[in-house]
Structure 1
Amino acid sequence: MVVPPWLSVPPPGYGGLEQVVHGLVDALVEHGHAVTLFGAGRHHGTAGDFVSTVEDLQYARLGEALPELAHLARVNDLITADDFDLVHDHTTIGPLVAGRRAVPTVATVHGNPVGEYGAVLGDTDRGVGLVAISHAQRRWNPTLPWLGTVHNAMDVREFPQKPAPGRGPVLWLARFSPDKGPDLAIRACRAAGLPLTLAGKCNEPAEQRYFTEVVEPLLGEDVEVVFNADRPATLRLLMDARCLIMPIQWEEPFGMVMLEAMATGTPVVALRRGAVPELVVDGVTGLIRDRAEELPAALRAVVRLDPAECVAHVARHFSTDRMAQGYEAVYRLLVAGATTPAREPTSITAR
């Protein structure tokens, strides 16, 4: 299992990819597999073995190509056919260098597979099997060598669950970016007469600039801002929240924060973009709307939903055991020699 060199597994705060890999490694080990995690830094918290390619996490260099390339070069040197059956790669550049490995590679695509990233994926070695994290993501670039579709997942046992709807403010939880719509969250909550907490990742220059130029002028006494919350603080916010608001302005490939919210019993109010309809059951675990103008009414109505239904939905459809089973099916296809896209994708569906 290969992760980027930026964050530890699991991450202390922000890091959806790393959180998913944590759950996947532990579930695969429970299923009897011998799993080695290749990453960076000195520590990890998984049930698998750990090999670090560089002593310090490379988060300060996030966005640069060389740290990830150097990490992958070291990983490739360590992988032999005597020790491993296959590689599961979660990095951005990994599919381009996987052809140098002594064993086949499954690569999970965590981003939007269009534009520059789509060009990189389109040049993938044909022996690499790509895995989509949602059906919506796969539809945006259907010509890629997809081998399967497996939804991300989490273990609801790791989350506290509230017995009744939250009485606190509406919660927006994301990185400060126009794609995530914090400005729309402010306007929707203000129109609904509800307080809002903006809990955002804001440590990269683009995020800081966006917050200063766009978000800060909209703030008032009805909006609380929390920067770069760690895991315990995030869970407290989710437990207290009336709901999670997702006014996304792009085709979100997945959206782990929606699973995290529902796992605590917090329903989701979201715009119908990307994978939202695959994760949220409209009218049961959240309310999905087509236009931003419809969000205020949804924010007022969402308290009628049952927190227990939210938790049960995640446990039933997005468990780490279910995710591991999906990837096991993909692994079998790859080691059996399926190096071209499967006619029917291996699929773990939301419902």
Structure 2
Amino acid sequence: MQLSGQRSTAPHRGVPSLRVALVAPPYFEVPPSGYGGVEAVVADLADSLVAQGHHVTLLGAGHSTSRAEFVPLWPEPVPQRLGEPAPEMVHAAAARKALLRLADAGELDVVHDHTLAGPLNAAVLRQRGIPTVVTVHGPVDVDMHRYYRDLGADVGLVGISHRQRELAPDLNWLGVVHNALRPQDWPFRAEKGDYALFLGRFHPQKAPHLALDAAHAAGVPLVLAGKCSEPIEQEYFDREVRPRLRSSDRLVGVADAVTKRELLSGARCLLFPIQWEEPFGMVMIEAMACGTPVVALRGGAVPEVVTDGVTGLVCDHPDQLPAALAAVTQLNPHACRASVVERFSADRMAEGYVAAYRRAIAEHTGKAEYTGKVAGHLPTPAAGTALAEVG
């Protein structure tokens, strides 16, 4: 089910506003200055929820320029500790304290957690009458499947793609809400440069070595930008990427927000040769928002995000990538941008999550619908705008 909220209603028109706590990870600020896909999504979600009339408390690290009320659980982000277990536990404990304070003060209707350990707080929050919605940002591997299965009804899960949910159909899913962005924050450019772009982690799953092979075979210059700080990334870079680099390739490193937008808007295409079940692929919609089509290998959510032949070209084998690099220049940049505006805008994402929040609250209270503190009720959905529709 694809969750989509009422597109024409707002709290001041009789629909009750919600008091939402968003829990972000401790590794990057919200919004991030560079790397930080989850944090970028949380920032856009927070701002859209506030704009739609909801009260949002954002729990994170460092500082935030979000429109939400920000509660820092760490004085500064800890990106250098990404992958360690201790920051997750410390962050979850600090979040628990802050959330219980909000719940006991009667200032909270629902918790929306975007962290790994945070959902462990759901049971105690449920005892206070507060449901927890969890966005599953990563793949549901064996360990994560057991984790979410054992959490059971304490959390309502939201997938970021239908493919992600299909791979674990037995979990307690509320539905699917695609990741999104604010299109106005991404520069559109119809005239493109003559380079392809790889933008992502230097990791075997992201396969920048295949991007290099394809670009060299097609005779197209390649710009590579991304994170290469973890041991697995460094080892992979030295083994597979460095030996392939040619004078026609340009290595940028981690691109900050400004550089990322410049690279994406000027590229003939984004190369996305993934080798795993990608849960979503945020960089694909970032590229499309800039009018830049995607050349990708089929996997995970790729066919769900990219409309083959319209907003990109989806290949079944790496050998097809060079031809796609040549053909992609025939695609219309305006169609790429229009797809993001229609399907992947932050406002649409916020509406989807509001529908998920209301469903979680309704299931928790046993009521057919949630009216909140404001007098009124949810209007009967018009055709095509049900709180849960088949996606």
Question: TM-score, normalized by length of structure 2?
Answer: 0.85
> Would the aligned equivalents of 1:271 and 1:291 in 2 still touch at CA under 8 Å?
yes
Letter in 1 for 2:338: A
Determine the structure 1 residue equivalent to 2:39: 18
Distance 1:40-1:139 versus aligned 2 partners, 3 A rule: same
Query: Aligned pair 1:130/2:151, yes or no?
Result: no
Determine the structure 1 residue equivalent to 2:10: none
Q: Which is further off, 191-200 or 258-267?
A: 191-200
> Would the aligned equivalents of 2:297 and 2:317 in 1 still touch at CA under 8 Å?
yes
After superposition, residues 273-288 of structure 1 pair within 5 angstroms as: 273-288=299-314
Determine the structure 1 residue equivalent to 2:168: 141
In the TM superposition, residue 314 of structure 1 has moved relative to its aligned partner by: 0.1
After superposition, residues 190-209 of structure 1 pair within 5 angstroms as: 190-209=216-235
> Would the aligned equivalents of 1:149 and 1:348 in 2 still touch at CA under 8 Å?
no
Distance 1:347-1:172 versus aligned 2 partners, 3 A rule: farther
In the TM superposition, residue 125 of structure 1 has moved relative to its aligned partner by: 4.2
Give 1:117's match in structure 2, choosing from 144, 169, 172. Answer: 144
After superposition, residues 44-193 of structure 1 pair within 5 angstroms as: 44-79=64-99, 80-81=102-103, 82-101=106-125, 102=128, 103-164=130-191, 166-193=192-219
1:309-346 deviation per Cα after TM superposition (whole angstroms, max 9, x unaligned) = 10010001111111011111111111112599xxx994
Determine the structure 2 residue equivalent to 1:331: 357
> Would the aligned equivalents of 1:106 and 1:331 in 2 still touch at CA under 8 Å?
yes
Determine the structure 2 residue equivalent to 1:302: 328
After superposition, residues 306-317 of structure 1 pair within 5 angstroms as: 306-317=332-343
Provide the aligned C-alpha RMSD in A: 1.6
After superposition, residues 199-348 of structure 1 pair within 5 angstroms as: 199-337=225-363, 346=388
Distance 1:187-1:138 versus aligned 2 partners, 3 A rule: same
How many residues of Structure 1 are paired with residues of Structure 2 in the alignment? 344
1:217-271 deviation per Cα after TM superposition (whole angstroms, max 9, x unaligned) = 1111121111111111111111221100111000100000000000000000001
1:48-80 deviation per Cα after TM superposition (whole angstroms, max 9, x unaligned) = 000011212121211111212111111111224
In the TM superposition, residue 214 of structure 1 has moved relative to its aligned partner by: 1.5
Structure 1 CA distance for aligned equivalents of residues 41 and 309 of structure 2: 27
Letter in 2 for 1:130: L
> Would the aligned equivalents of 1:148 and 1:345 in 2 still touch at CA under 8 Å?
no
Structure 1 CA distance for aligned equivalents of residues 79 and 387 of structure 2: 34
Unaligned runs of 5+ in 2: 1-21, 367-385
Letter in 1 for 2:187: P
> Would the aligned equivalents of 2:31 and 2:43 in 1 still touch at CA under 8 Å?
yes
Structure with bigger RCO (C-alpha 8 Å, 6+ apart): 2
> Would the aligned equivalents of 2:280 and 2:301 in 1 still touch at CA under 8 Å?
yes
Structure 2 CA distance for aligned equivalents of residues 89 and 215 of structure 1: 36
Give 2:49's match in structure 1, choosing from 4, 25, 28. Answer: 28
> Would the aligned equivalents of 2:194 and 2:220 in 1 still touch at CA under 8 Å?
no
Name the SS for the 1:207 alignment partner: helix
Letter in 2 for 1:72: A
Name the SS for the 1:148 alignment partner: strand
Distance 1:347-1:50 versus aligned 2 partners, 3 A rule: farther
Structure 2 CA distance for aligned equivalents of residues 57 and 348 of structure 1: 39
> Would the aligned equivalents of 2:95 and 2:118 in 1 still touch at CA under 8 Å?
no
In the TM superposition, residue 119 of structure 1 has moved relative to its aligned partner by: 2.1
Structure 2 CA distance for aligned equivalents of residues 78 and 111 of structure 1: 25
In the TM superposition, residue 188 of structure 1 has moved relative to its aligned partner by: 0.8
Question: TM-score, normalized by length of structure 1?
Answer: 0.95
> Would the aligned equivalents of 1:254 and 1:274 in 2 still touch at CA under 8 Å?
yes
Letter in 2 for 1:91: T
